[in-house]
Amino acid sequence: MPVDAFLAMGTRRETPPERLPTVLHNTWRAYHRAVAGMAAAGNNVVVDHVLSERTTPGPNSNRRERERGDRPSGRAALQLAQAHAHGIYDVECDTSRADPLVCALGIKEFLPHRPAPTSFQRLLDKQQG
């Protein structure tokens, strides 16, 4: 469930800059509730919401947020510990050291040979004890 799909469901009119934080906040709240609803109904859900590399230094993630202009600077740094608390990954990319194309090619090369169980399965097994 990509959060961008929820953002795309909004109005096609330009959001005034002073309203953008409120619109984004309300959209994310709705998104979180929709994800929770899907999970509560018994669905397995893969969520595409926050992308922040645990190897990305705080100043680098702050710079990226400023350049994107769609979120307050510092949010990624605050979410870093929670987003990566599990520490289980199939493949990692450090976009502070490699450009996006190099990272994408690394992922493409990895996919046909990924080990089993996947990180999702290991996380599920860990959760289920």
Mean local confidence (pLDDT), 103-121: 86
- Residue 75: how many other CB atoms lie within 10 Å: 14
Task: Say whether pLDDT at 42 is over 80.
Answer: yes
What pTM was computed for the model? 0.43
Residue 79 scores a pLDDT above 80:
no
Q: Is the pLDDT of residue 83 over 80?
A: no
Confidence of residue 102 (pLDDT cuts 50, 70, 90): very high
Among residues 74, 78, 5, 81, which one has the least CA distance to residue 38?
5
* Mean pLDDT, all residues of the chain: 79
* Lowest-confidence region among 14-23, 38-47, 68-77, 114-123: 68-77
Q: What is the pLDDT of residue 76?
A: 73
| pLDDT recorded at residue 50 | 52
Domain boundaries in the chain? 88-129
**CA dist 30 to 13, 22, 44, 53, Å?**
20, 12, 19, 25
| pLDDT given for residue 53 in this prediction | 37
Q: Give the span between the Cα atoms of 48 and 1, in whole angstroms.
A: 6
Residue 26 pLDDT greater than 80, yes or no: yes
122 neighbors 114 (Cβ within 8 angstroms): no
